[in-house]
Amino acid sequence: MDVLVAGAGFAGAVMAERLAEGYGLSCLVVDRRAHLAGNAHDARDGTGIRVHSYGPHWFRTGSERVRTYLSRFTEWRPVEYRVLAHARGRYWSFPVNLATYEQLVGRAATADEMRAALARWRVPIARPANSEEAVLAQVGPELYRLFYEGYTRKQWGMDARALDASVCARIPVRTDRVERWFDDPFQALPRDGYTALFERMLRHPRIRVELGTDFRAARAQVRARHVVYTGMIDELFDFRFGRLPYRSLRFERETLAQEQFQPAMQVNYPGDEPWTRIVEYKHATGDESAPRDRTTIVREHPEAHAPGREAYYPMPTAAARAQYARYAEVAAAERDVTFVGRLATYRYWNMDQVVAQALAEAERLGPRLAARAA
């Protein structure tokens, strides 16, 4: 083979498709799991409801290039992702917006009034050094305690003051009534699901896919000119600088004999509940074949990562970045390995960012490999 690709998620699949279609290279894609699509995998459950197997994957992007590329393999169902928070025994509009402020003060209000209130509540921190300071500088102590403090502690296993400012700073705060979570101009789900998108992407005569296959075993048996690696970078180098910290997840799925469980597709729980959020996929998928008298919910429980568990989130701390830098230095010396994706580059990237990185890497790598193969 010209290229051995480790991982059949977005990073690996995009690289394989582009190298095969764009540069005529033969690619073997291996994945230790028994399915395509990585963490974006979805499937119908026993009732016929389409569920995301590894937590909600709400696709959005501001990149026309990414949207156009993925549209080769799927049609889309437009969705504006709406999230609520459940605290103090009630649902709250979230992220923080004018409706949230009205719920807090118990009456109608104007945008100017909310801006004035935020100006009084904010803690004057010009350059937040961590996520706690980032939130306090945006909304002040009360809203921080109500929506952010407990959720962040559960999600990451540590207080917000230990996390990079970027983690909580990415959550918008609005003084209008816009309740959608994201501002990206394109927000949608693949009409037939993510798994179907990946099946079409990898259905190519120069791509072979082997699932349930360990990368190390494949690398020992297959002659390949180049490797595209999308897994945990520390694992590839046998943890020589220690295990990088990741955050893992456990999913508690329940099917209920009712049409709807909650008023939005995602509800965050910043309180003492052991889960961080409950997702009810019927709100977003719009699947007409799903039963009207059944619904499936998934409670998400963050956990510390350990061997045998999936790694979902690189830890956004200064110590983790310093440890990763040692792996990155070793990786830079690997002339015949390209590192792509969230785990291989230890970055908390969204799906569209991973696709954009893979497209750019394929354009960089493809001509060189094609010239060598000629």
pLDDT score recorded for residue 290: 77
Considering the domain architecture, whether residues 16 and 59 belong to the same structural domain is answered as: yes
In a domain, 266, yes or no: no
> By percentage, how much of the chain surpasses pLDDT 70?
100
Residue 45 lies in a domain: yes
Computed over every residue of the chain, the mean pLDDT equals 96
Q: What is the CATH number of the domain that holds 360?
A: 3.40.50.720
16 and 155 housed in the same domain: no
60 and 199 belong to one structural domain: yes
pLDDT, one tens digit per residue, over 259-311 is: 999 999 999 999 999 999 999 999 988 777 778 899 999 999 999 999 989 99
How many domains, in total, are found in the chain? 2
Do 98 and 144 lie in one domain? The reply is yes
Residue 276 within any structural domain of the chain: no
Mean pLDDT of 222-233: 97
- Answer whether residue 374 shows pLDDT above 80: no
Whether residue 97 sits in one domain with residue 159: yes
Whether residue 41 is found in the same domain as residue 160: no
Above 90 in pLDDT, residue 181?
Answer: no
Q: Is residue 254 part of a domain?
A: no
- The 10s digit of each residue's pLDDT in 335-373 is 999 999 999 999 999 999 999 999 999 999 999 999 987
* Domain identity same for 11 and 153: no
121 shares its domain with 224: no
Q: Are 76 and 17 members of one domain?
A: yes
**Does 9 reside within a domain?**
yes
Q: What is the pLDDT of residue 339?
A: 98
Domain containing residue 114: 90-169
Condensed to tens digits (0 to 9), the pLDDT of residues 184-201 reads 999 999 999 999 999 999
> Based on the domain organization, do 233 and 328 belong to the same domain?
yes
What's the chain look like in SS3? CCEEEECCCHHHHHHHHHHHHHHCCCEEEEECCCCCCHHHCEEECCCCCEEECCCCCCEEECCHHHHHHHCCCCCEEECCCEEEEEECCEEEEECCCHHHHHHHHCCCCCHHHHHHHHHHHCCCCCCCCCHHHHHHHHHCHHHHHHHHHHHHHHHHCCCHHHCCHHHHHCCCCCCCCCCECCCCCEEEEECCCHHHHHHHHCCCCCEEEEECCCHHHHHHHCCCCEEEECCCHHHHCCCCCCCCCEEEEEEEEEEECCCCCCCCCEEECCCCCCCCEEEECHHHHCCCCCCCCCEEEEEEEEEECCCCCCCCEECCCHHHHHHHHHHHHHHHCCCCEEECCHHHHCCCCCHHHHHHHHHHHHHHHHHHHHHHHC
**Together in a domain, 129 and 152:** yes
pLDDT digits (tens, 9 = 90+) for 91-101: 999 999 999 99
